Amino acid sequence: MRRRFALPLASLALALPGALIPAASASAAPADKPQVLSSWTQTSASSYNTWAAARANQSAWSAYGFNWSTDYCSSSPDNPFGFPFALSCARHDFGYRNYKAAGTFSANKARLDSAFYEDLKRVCARYSGATLSSCNATAWTYYRAVSVFGYSASADAPAA
């Protein structure tokens, strides 16, 4: 008689703690994810530098579930006329992809585009004379392209 109850009781004893302890969602991001995302997508140099440091150590931020993927400057050159715009484009992609995933892209697009332009102008600030003028003109062209043609249809739908 003891054996008849031993197996079901043992199974119940093993299953009970799992049933009583609420399962933590594997995809739950920390509550401060919107604040972190915002701090990394502002127009300031310090915001850019903080994002760049996090990008270099993405594994430390894995719990946040950020999308770090990038196609850099999409179909435009990443380094037009030798100006290194690739990382500015990567941060712009980061903002677009993560705000789309959060469903708040429309409310943040103008700031993301402005941050992109400020990043590009900081790249250009390394130059002088005609090279500076050429870089700034190229930066303005890139900025206008994203501000006008940047993804806007169903903008708050999660990115595919």
| Structure token digits, residue 73 | 């400057």
Nearby residues of 52 by Cβ (< 8 Å), 6 or more positions away: 87, 91
Amino acid at 54: A
Q: Which of 47, 85, 92, 99 is catalytic?
A: 92
Q: How far is CA 26 from the centre of its chain?
A: 19
Residue 92 designated active-site: yes
**Phi, psi (5° rounding) for residue 124?**
-65, -30
Residue with tokens 């790249």: 123
| Structure token digits, residue 119 | 């990043």
Q: Which residue numbers are catalytic?
A: 92
